[in-house]
């Protein structure tokens, strides 16, 4: 059935082909570009998703497809993302702004805009699929496993999923690039995928120094210690370190050392061997219940993914009053406070729930 659809055009190949496929399907398509107000030209090897160059590419695609195009000023929304990003680092967490952008802006603010212009649906170029699981909507993995993006959509609410169209869910990346070239979208057909956080075109620590007061604990020098509490050296601020980091520690040691945790309040960075990064579980808050909605304390088998492009790990998940608790089948690396834990069904096909990692469990 033909309907009015708002498509998020990023200026890349994926959203461009998604829009083209919707036009082919007979929909009345409206293209929108989200202006961040905090990024400039994309240059060199770094490629974001909200630069001036991207906006121009998005407009060219809309013109070629013959669809209306709007550049929406989301500067205040992006400023909220930046505030959360800085706050997380100040608290010793590792933020994930791209996931929040999907919830707050791409399928939050854009969905509200769609309603204002009489559109019921919002579409994007993500490699994932929206499916029904009983009475609920959930997200299934894209057919191209190497490009699957279901993880970054794991925090979407039921209202957002009900309105979401993902035209590329059944396609592979190579097919999408070939389709773009066939349609004469040569400029975007070979364009690099976005890799950088759009509001951090350089070193994220420069952003933190601009946004945080000089007296912030996370920017003050402190000690680097090992797991036994032995002082190994000094650092210039905990904000410059993330869990799992190996390079840039400034410590000479007989074996590689990795950041185990940071404690801004004590101005402390704790390091240890890689095997010490493996955790027995985690506790997550601000849960989003997708296919699953268990009672408090009820345990579910599943697989937990801790990174956008990481593999999933077998685990059991139990609902708690503030979110859920995960127990891995075997000690697992990658559980980092501030990141999202996305829980899939035991067959690793669709999402059951997701939540923000609050703390990790050693055992």
Catalytic residues: 101, 198
- Convert 180-208 to b/e letters by CB count within 10 Å (16 or more is b): beebebebbbebeebebbbbbbeebbebb
In which residue are the tokens 């649906």 written? Answer: 121
CA atoms within 13 A on the CB side of 205: 10
Which tokens go with 147? 């490009």
Residue 70 burial class via C-beta count within 10 angstroms: exposed 0-12, middle 13-18, buried 19 and up: middle
What dihedral do alpha carbons 23, 25, 26, 30 form, nearest 10°? -30
How many whole angstroms separate alpha carbon 168 and alpha carbon 190? Answer: 17
Closest CA to 363 of 337, 342, 335: 335
Backbone angles phi and psi of 304, in degrees to 5: -115, 125
How many whole angstroms separate alpha carbon 168 and alpha carbon 183? Answer: 16
């Amino acid at each position: 059935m033909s309907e009015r659809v708002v498509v998020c055009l990023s200026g890349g190949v994926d959203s461009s082909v998604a829009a083209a496929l919707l036009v082919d399907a007979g929909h009345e398509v409206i293209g929108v570009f989200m202006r961040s107000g905090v990024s400039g030209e994309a240059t060199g090897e770094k490629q974001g998703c909200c630069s001036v160059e991207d906006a121009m590419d998005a407009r060219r695609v809309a013109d070629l497809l013959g669809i209306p195009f709007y550049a929406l000023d989301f500067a205040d929304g992006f400023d909220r993302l930046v505030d959360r990003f800085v706050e997380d680092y100040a608290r010793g967490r590792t933020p994930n702004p791209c996931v929040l952008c999907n919830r707050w802006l791409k399928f939050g603010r854009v969905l509200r805009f769609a309603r204002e212009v009489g559109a019921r649906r919002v579409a994007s170029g993500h490699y994932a699929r929206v499916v029904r699981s009983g009475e609920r909507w959930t997200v299934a993995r894209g057919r191209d496993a190497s490009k699957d993006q279901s993880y970054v959509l794991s925090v979407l609410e039921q209202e957002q999923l009900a309105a979401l169209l993902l035209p590329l869910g059944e396609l592979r990346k190579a097919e999408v690039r070939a389709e773009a070239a066939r349609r004469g979208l040569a400029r975007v057909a070979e364009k690099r995928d976005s890799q950088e956080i759009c509001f951090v075109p350089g070193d994220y620590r420069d952003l933190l120094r601009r946004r945080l007061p000089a007296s912030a604990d996370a920017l003050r020098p402190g000690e680097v210690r090992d797991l036994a509490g032995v002082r190994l050296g000094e650092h210039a601020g905990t904000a410059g370190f993330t869990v799992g980091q190996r390079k840039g520690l400034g410590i000479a040691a007989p074996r590689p050392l990795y950041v185990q945790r940071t404690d801004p309040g004590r101005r402390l960075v704790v390091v240890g061997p890689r095997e010490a990064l493996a955790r027995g579980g985690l506790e997550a808050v601000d849960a989003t219940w997708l296919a699953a909605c268990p009672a408090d304390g009820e345990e579910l088998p599943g697989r937990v993914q801790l990174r956008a492009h990481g593999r999933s790990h077998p685990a059991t998940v139990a609902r708690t009053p503030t979110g859920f608790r995960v127990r891995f089948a075997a000690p697992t690396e990658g559980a980092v406070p501030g990141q999202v834990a996305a829980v899939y069904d035991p067959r690793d096909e669709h999402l059951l729930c997701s939540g923000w990692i609050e703390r990790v469990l050693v055992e």
